[in-house]
Structure 1
Amino acid sequence: MSEAVREAPKKERPQFTNIHVTQLSNYRLPLAGVVSILHRISGFLMFALLPVVLYLLEKSLLSEISFEHFKGIASHWFMKLVILALVWGYMQHFCAGVRHLIMDTHVGLDKDSARKSAATVLVISLTLTALVALKLFGVF
């Protein structure tokens, strides 16, 4: 009996190595990884555009004349895109942050739940951003 146990073929464990830059196009990141990277990107975006937000806040609060100037700035199509990028960054960062806080309580850590919560974060943040875009560009 001990011979039969010894002769059983061992499963080879897969070898994981670092990938090279040329292999990035072939690498498929899981959905939870995409949400994690988008969380970092949205946090950086909100930080990098903080001077724009503070400038717009100053223009809107200084006086009635500066508020009219603010409305003129904010009505430009490029500025609307910047505002929309900030809205997406906030929505993505907030939804992913709530997901991470829930995962900190050890809820939804298994692979299937993590995939579903990542998909939920993407759907909610993109839906809310689309609604703000429709309002921002005057559709409703």
Structure 2
Amino acid sequence: MELSEQNVNKQRPVYLDLQQIQFPATAIASILHRVSGVVMFGAIAVLLWLLATSLESASGFQSVAELFNALPAKVVIWAILTALAYHLCGGIRHLLMDLGLFEGSMESGNNSARVVFAAALILSVLAGIWLW
């Protein structure tokens, strides 16, 4: 089989280096909103287990209360609260976009995404202060 000049000049697949691509704030906000939703979905199992254990008996409640004093448990609860805060802020942004706000330009979308990042960061720090 002989290669013709026409076949050699065809467009070939391009390797995309994702580390070189600059994502806009709106794309990062969307990706993080989905990730925080997945984290919250997984957190349901942990939280239901803690609730069921605490409601079994007085000793179950005591064991859950002691668990909250351990550093790994505090980190897990902080991560859950951070995911909840980000998902809440991102959800409010999406509701406002459904009302027609922040849709005028790419800049307004980027600004609203940055506000979500800042609000979630503040809520995450407050959750950390509250836990520790």
TM-score, structure 2 normalization? 0.83
**Paired amino acid for 1:83:** I
Residue matched to 1:134: 129
- State how far apart, in whole Å, the 2-side matches of 1:76 and 1:108 are: 43
Matches within 5 A, 1:1-140: 20-21=15-16, 23-109=17-103, 110-137=105-132
Separation (CA, whole Å) in 2 of partners of 1:131 and 1:31: 23
CA distance in 2, matches of 1:96, 1:87: 14
Identity among equivalent positions (%) equals 33
- With over 3 angstroms needed to count, the CA separation of the structure-2 counterparts of 1:19 and 1:47, relative to structure 1, is farther
TM-score (norm 1): 0.79
**3-state SS, counterpart of residue 46 of structure 1:** helix
Q: Which stretches in structure 2 are left out of the alignment for 5+ residues? A: 1-12
Q: Which amino acid aligns with 1:105?
A: L
**Partner Cα distance (2:94, 2:49) in 1:** 31
CA contact (8 A) 2:82 2:127 kept: no
Work out whether residues 93 and 116 of structure 2, in 8 Å CA contact, stay in contact via their aligned partners in 1. Answer: yes
Deviations 1:28-86, CA, capped at 9 Å, x for gaps = 11011111000000000011122111011122333332221111112111111111110
User: What letter is aligned with 2:67?
Assistant: I
Tell whether the 8 Å contact from 2:26 to 2:110 is kept in structure 1 after alignment. yes
Runs of 4+ in structure 1 deviating by more than 4 angstroms, as ranges, are none
Task: State the aligned residue count.
Answer: 119
In 2: Cα distance, 1:41 partner to 1:29 partner: 16
Query: For structure 1, which runs of at least 5 residues remain unmatched after alignment?
Result: 1-17
CA-based RMSD of the aligned residues comes to: 1.5
